[in-house]
């Protein structure tokens, strides 16, 4: 509990001393969604949760959980690269799944995007995800 408080306190300090930069690509702006694609504070970039939607659309990638997982992680990768970061700088991921029974199938795809040291991660089932998605991935990274 104390460590969590310390992390929150450090993040609050960073936000208080650094201006937040709200990041949106032309593709994300065209979707008119009520959130930023990512927010950068200093050397930290926090991505909004990414679904397995095809770029610039709300259409889910084909292929079930693995197709959506691959597309969600490609979306994460593209946002990071557009904003001065990369998959090897990801420090934390949160994974939300419509069906936790698909966790092993998700992990088969996930590990291909993090072949070296793995980021810290949480995963849980949700009663529903936007657009009927099977998975949503949120990441924090250094840049």
Evaluate whether residue 13 is within a structural domain. Answer: no
Question: 32 vs 88, which has greater pLDDT?
Answer: 88
8 located within any domain: no
Residue 74 belongs to some domain of the structure: yes
Count how many domains the chain has.
1
In a domain, 115, yes or no: yes
Task: Decide if pLDDT at 24 tops 90.
Answer: no
pLDDT of residue 27: 77
Task: Look at residue 5 and tell me if it is in a domain.
Answer: no
* Res 29: pLDDT: 64
Residue 105 in any domain: the answer is yes
State the pLDDT confidence band at 67, using cuts at 50, 70 and 90. Answer: very high
Per-residue b/e over 7-42, b at no fewer than 16 CB within 10 Å? eeeeeeeeeeeeeeeebbbeebeeeeeeebbbbbbe
- Phi first, then psi: give them for residue 95, nearest 5 degrees: -115, 125
Residue 107 lies in a domain: yes
C-alpha span between 126 and 133 (Å, rounded): 11
Give the tokens for residue 138: 């949120």
Given a contact cutoff of 8 angstroms between Cβ atoms, the answer to whether 111 and 72 are in contact is: no
CATH code, 70 = 3.30.1330.40
Judged against a pLDDT cut of 70, whether residue 137 lies above it is answered with yes
| Amino acid 35: pLDDT | 84
Whole-model pTM: value is 0.85
Domain region containing 129? 19-142
In the block, which residue shows the tokens 């691959």?
70
3-state secondary structure of 95: strand
Segment 113-123 shows an average pLDDT of 97
Decide if 82 is inside a domain: yes
């Amino acid at each position: 509990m104390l460590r969590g408080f310390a992390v929150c306190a450090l993040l609050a300090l960073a936000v208080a001393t650094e201006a937040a930069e709200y990041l949106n690509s032309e593709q994300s702006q065209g979707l008119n969604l009520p959130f930023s694609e990512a927010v950068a504070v200093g050397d930290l970039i926090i991505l909004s949760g990414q679904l397995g939607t095809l770029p610039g659309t709300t259409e889910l990638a084909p292929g079930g959980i693995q197709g959506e997982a691959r597309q969600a992680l490609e979306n994460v990768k593209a946002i990071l690269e557009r904003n001065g970061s990369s998959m090897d700088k990801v420090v934390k991921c949160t994974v939300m799944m419509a069906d936790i029974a698909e966790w092993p199938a998700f992990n088969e795809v996930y590990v291909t995007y993090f072949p070296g040291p793995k980021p810290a991660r949480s995963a849980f089932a949700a009663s529903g995800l936007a657009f009927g998605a099977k998975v949503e991935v949120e990441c924090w990274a250094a840049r």
